Amino acid sequence: MVTRYKQAKRKFKILKSTATILSVLFHPVILPTYVFACLIFFAPATFSTLSEQGKYYLLLLIFITTCILPIFLMTIFLQLTNRTMNLKAFFMGNRRERIVPYLITAIFYSSLAYFFDAYLHMSGLIIYLVAAIGVTILVLSLITLFYKVSAHATGLSGSVVILVMLSMRFADNDLFYPILTFILISGFVMSSRLFLKAHTGMEIITGVLTGFIVNFCIFYFVLNG
């Protein structure tokens, strides 16, 4: 009896650790880098105006501006509110804790899109991708005022929509397997969020719908406007 209990406890710890690792590896803050990496390596036509070296510089720039800087800003925000940066703070389990960081991040992405356009003169697709992230986070912020939504589900569903729509727009691409991988990973990550009791099923569904609707509307307009 004791042995079975220990085995069950060990299995639970392994599952919990795996769910936590998945939640970190596919946190919304890193998803833009994954999306850009998929486009650069599997749909080169999307950035045909850039050299091979330029594409790597772009990916590094996206990683720094959409992952490193938001984490840095989040750390400063936590310090100003007398909190420390840890996994609990990183995932922001409380609904009210999410509102201000979401709004700050939305403003940051909007400013970043403007900077890319006005000063770096990047292609329209790059600017729209960054702007779409900002709009998605803004919508997420507004919903979070009243209801907790899974940011993981929002980010993952939005990423899938973007990849699917761009794969339909640019014929010369190999995005089928990246899209399939994203869908499978989405299932694992959303299951992980449920297993960790970070969200309810309805919060996951709301996140999926938010990411899908916002990004579908933006890229339908961009690609057909």
Contacts of 73 (CB under 8 A, 6+ apart): 104, 105, 108
Closest to 27 in 3D by CA, of 82, 92, 83, 81: 92
90 band by pLDDT with thresholds 50, 70 and 90: low
Q: Which two tokens stand for residue 112?
A: 């970043």
pLDDT of residue 120: 80
Structural domain boundaries of the chain? 2-224
**Alpha carbons 142 and 181: distance in angstroms, whole number:** 30
Q: Tell me the per-residue pLDDT of 167-206, one tens digit each, with 9 for 90 and over.
A: 988 776 789 999 999 999 999 999 999 999 989 999 999 9
Can you give the pTM of this predicted structure?
0.90
Answer yes or no: is pLDDT of 93 > 80.
Answer: no
**How far, rounded to the nearest angstrom, does the alpha carbon of residue 49 sit from its chain's CA centroid?**
26
